[in-house]
A and B are shown apart, each in its own frame.
Chain A
Amino acid sequence: GAGVSQTPSNKVTEKGKYVELRCDPISGHTALYWYRQSLGQGPEFLIYFQGTGAADDSGLPNDRFFAVRPEGSVSTLKIQRTERGDSAVYLCASSNSGSQMETQYFGPGTRLLVL
């Protein structure tokens, strides 16, 4: 079946602009995660959704970052007033129900470059 998809695959924006990154999880997966991977680093957790609600947003770096999942499937990560330090690959993952033993399935990522 279809895996996790993310759009756009690449996004170039100017400092101060607003961007939206979209994630389409595997159908039926209730758990959805966003991670950020900076160059040469491992991915770092941003936010976790269980269904429509953000169950854990402790990884969001500041209030410029926000994410939604209004219907419990597609999620959008929104970044306001982008800064050069926001440049990274943003990864989305989904799992069946969100448990310790479950595998998270990752999308290909959105590469964000802030000029």
Chain B
Amino acid sequence: AQSVTQLDSHVSVSEGTPVLLRCNYSSSYSPSLFWYVQHPNKGLQLLLKYTSAATLVKGINGFEAEFKKSETSFHLTKPSAHMSDAAEYFCVVSDPSGTYKYIFGTGTRLKVLA
């Protein structure tokens, strides 16, 4: 069965410092992995996705993630946090069993301090 574990429920960083949001996955297949962001009272927005092409994936707003099979990780990073990055972030794996439903992590709330 597929699953994702987000290791931190809350992360606080100062504006201008790096962001690291951690995600580990479990999958018996070659996974498709996604990061979504959810701003308050807004819909889920795709940041980036890994689909077995390049292991380093670049997304929107300066975010990127690296797929590491040996560590079963897909951590999200950004070199310099901006106040507008404050939101909830979800790591997602797509279930390959036929429906490709998403399996979400429990989320990491990112707080950016001025």
Q: Which residues of A are interface residues toward B (Cβ below 8 A)?
A: 3-4, 31, 33, 35, 40-45, 48, 55-56, 59, 91, 93, 95, 98-109
Contact = CB atoms under 8 A, between A and B. Distances in A.
B100 A43 contact: no
Given A42-B90, A42-B107, A106-B44, A101 B51 contact: yes
Interface of B: 32, 34, 36, 41-46, 49, 51, 90, 94, 96, 98-107
Nearest to A4: B43
B96 A43 contact: no
Contacts of B105: 42
A4 B45 CA distance: 12
A17 B60 CA distance: 42
Contacts of B46: 103, 105
A42 B104 contact: yes
A33 B51 contact: no
Those 10 A-B pairs whose CB atoms lie nearest each other, nearest first: A42-B104, A106-B44, A101-B51, A56-B99, A45-B101, A108-B43, A48-B99, A106-B43, A100-B32, A100-B94
A35 B36 CA distance: 14
B49 A103 contact: yes
Contacts of B94: 100-101
A41 B105 CA distance: 8
Looking at B32, B51, B100, B106, which has the most chain A CB atoms within 10 Å of its CB?
B100
Contact of B43 (A42, A55, A100, A107): A107
